[in-house]
Amino acid sequence: MSVICEECGKIYHIPPEKLKELKEKDGKIKCKVCGFIIPFPEIKESKENLKKAKKPSGTAEKVKIKKPSSLQIKGLGLQSKMFFLFLVIPLALMTGSGFFSYTQLQTLSSNIIEESTEAVQILAEDKIANKAESVALQCRIFLLNRPDIVKDDFNYDMDFKKISVQKVGLTGHTSLFEISGQHSDWTIWSHINPKIIGLSINDTIKKSCGDSYDKFIKILDIGAAGKKAKGYYKWTNKDGSVDQMYMAVAPILDTPYLIVSTTKIDEFTQRIKKLKNNAAKMTKKTRDIHLGIMIGSLIILGLSISIYGYKLTQNIKYLTNAADRISIGELGEKIEIKSKDELGNLAEAISRMQDSLKFSIERLKSKI
């Protein structure tokens, strides 16, 4: 059993073996701290008390006052909740926003590059086709004005060669072919390489075209029918590298000849590819910067929440312990919280409650 001194708040725990002795006396206890006489309430002996009184000396039961278990947190603690609310959730939102922005930026960059490449490629194809038509028209005019020139002289007549062999793009050129004999048997009469003049394309071009030779011949066949033709084929270089080539064919009207205009399509889209690489680097750089900002924010937020959360929880624990002490009658300890926010107001309220309890006890003592 426990008794509290109304004067100083000292708590006395009365062992069961002393209950009978106190009952036989005047029923009063003198406080050893302040000397106040504590009126002892009437004790009713029960079977349980009698059994406990028979226990040998040294086995006295200690009656404990059960303190509030406010510090035994059943769910998430305040600091954990602060981490979740102010760190985990914002971090998740920032991560989602950053990933969405990065994805959108990457998609936008990819779409712009693809559309730009397609637009430039179309312009390049038109330019190559226009060059073939222009050269075919110039050759027709020349041949009409020079009926005496024969095909064996096409590549050696400088005036005609300047017309029939013109530059296309950076490395491409035009050339003059003639269909002779069987179908798809083409002979080269004007070309940038004089070594292949008068030879069949089966002996000169077929090996370099490889598997795309049939595409090359198909385009020429359409031109042989008097129609404009264009398309892609592959060209294998001496070093083993393969280029994507574009070819446009324009027949020279009223003649068995046609002009072939061809070059690497990459020559026109090279700048777009460079732009694509720059865009990829810029996107990666933006992602890295955003990631750095997120990591920096994570560190700052984590430190801020840790420091502030620790101070806040320590103050709350201090006030909780103070409230527990007040609840069992310890009214002498001063509560000191220097915080000027709501926590400080709570500390002041507990202090006022402590003073009120002291005043109430003094009033009760004066009435006794």
Give the model's pLDDT for residue 156: 92
Write out the two tokens for 207: 């090996």
Mean pLDDT of 57-66: 42
- Tens digit of each residue's pLDDT (9 = 90 or more) over 201-260: 887 888 888 888 888 888 888 888 888 899 999 999 888 889 999 999 999 998 989 999
pLDDT at 59 over 70: no
Which of 15-19, 86-90, 211-215, 249-253 comes out lowest in average pLDDT? 15-19
C-alpha–C-alpha distance, residues 285 and 291, integer Å: 10
Which of 23-32, 103-112, 353-362 comes out lowest in average pLDDT? 23-32
First to last CA, the chain: 23
Mean pLDDT of 176-201: 84
- Tens digit of each residue's pLDDT (9 = 90 or more) over 310-339: 888 888 888 888 888 888 777 777 887 777
> Considering the entire predicted model, what is its pTM?
0.55
C-alpha–C-alpha distance, residues 51 and 49, integer Å: 5
User: What does residue 21 show for φ and ψ, rounded to 5 degrees?
Assistant: -65, -40
- Tens digit of each residue's pLDDT (9 = 90 or more) over 33-44: 676 776 655 433
Residue ranges of domains in the chain, CATH in brackets: 1-57 (no CATH), 115-272 (3.30.450.20)
pLDDT at 164 over 90: yes
